[in-house]
């Protein structure tokens, strides 16, 4: 059972480039979310999804897009990367929004130059 899988583990981008961070879970969880973690600031919610076809914004959504076409996958797209988006990104899933014991992926470390 792989749990929550994030790819890539590391990425370096130049300002203005776009890219997609991948997240997949094999636990048939309804709820998935993306966080960013910056030094001294804890994790902040970017976007979340309560099921296929449904997404919503979190605390810091600007500069990011998401879609949820399947239960398993929840990709995060950076439209035009900025140095302020240098961070560690975590994807998480939980069985339902109510049962929100969340399972986290190992993270993607992104640097924007």
Partner 1 sequence: KQEVTQIPAALSVPEGENLVLNCSFTDSAIYNLQWFRQDPGKGLTSLLLIQSSQREQTSGRLNASLDKSSGRSTLYIAASQPGDSATYLCAVSGSARQLTFGSGTQLTVLP
Binding site for partner 1 (CB under 8 A): 4, 33, 35, 40-45, 48, 58, 90, 92, 97-98, 100-107
Q: How far is the CB of 16 from partner 1 (least distance, A)?
A: 28
Spatial contact of 102 and 92, defined as CB atoms under 8 Å apart: yes
Q: Phi and psi of 71, rounded to 5°?
A: -65, -35
- As measured in angstroms, the least distance from the Cβ of 5 to partner 1 is 11
DSSP conformation class of 59: S
Q: In the bound complex, what is the minimum distance in angstroms from residue 108's beta carbon to partner 1? A: 10
Q: Which is nearer to partner 1, 33 or 55 (CB)?
A: 33
Closest to partner 1 by CB, 53 or 99: 99
- Contact by Cβ (8 Å): 58, 43: no
Residue 50 carries which DSSP code?
E
DSSP letter for 39, please: T
Nearer to partner 1, 28 or 98 (CB): 98
Q: Are 108 and 20 in contact (CB under 8 A)?
A: no
User: Is 84 or 100 the residue whose CB approaches partner 1 more closely?
Assistant: 100
């Amino acid at each position: 059972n792989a749990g929550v899988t994030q790819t890539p583990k590391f990425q370096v981008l130049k300002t203005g480039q776009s890219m997609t961070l991948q997240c997949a879970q094999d636990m048939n969880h309804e709820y998935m979310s993306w966080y960013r973690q910056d030094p001294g600031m804890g994790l902040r919610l970017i976007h979340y999804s309560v099921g296929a076809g449904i997404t919503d914004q979190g605390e810091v959504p600007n500069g990011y897009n998401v879609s949820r076409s399947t239960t398993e996958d929840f990709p995060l797209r950076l439209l035009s990367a900025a140095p302020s988006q240098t961070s560690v990104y975590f994807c998480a899933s939980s069985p339902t929004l109510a049962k929100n014991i969340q399972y986290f992926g190992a993270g993607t470390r992104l640097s924007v130059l």
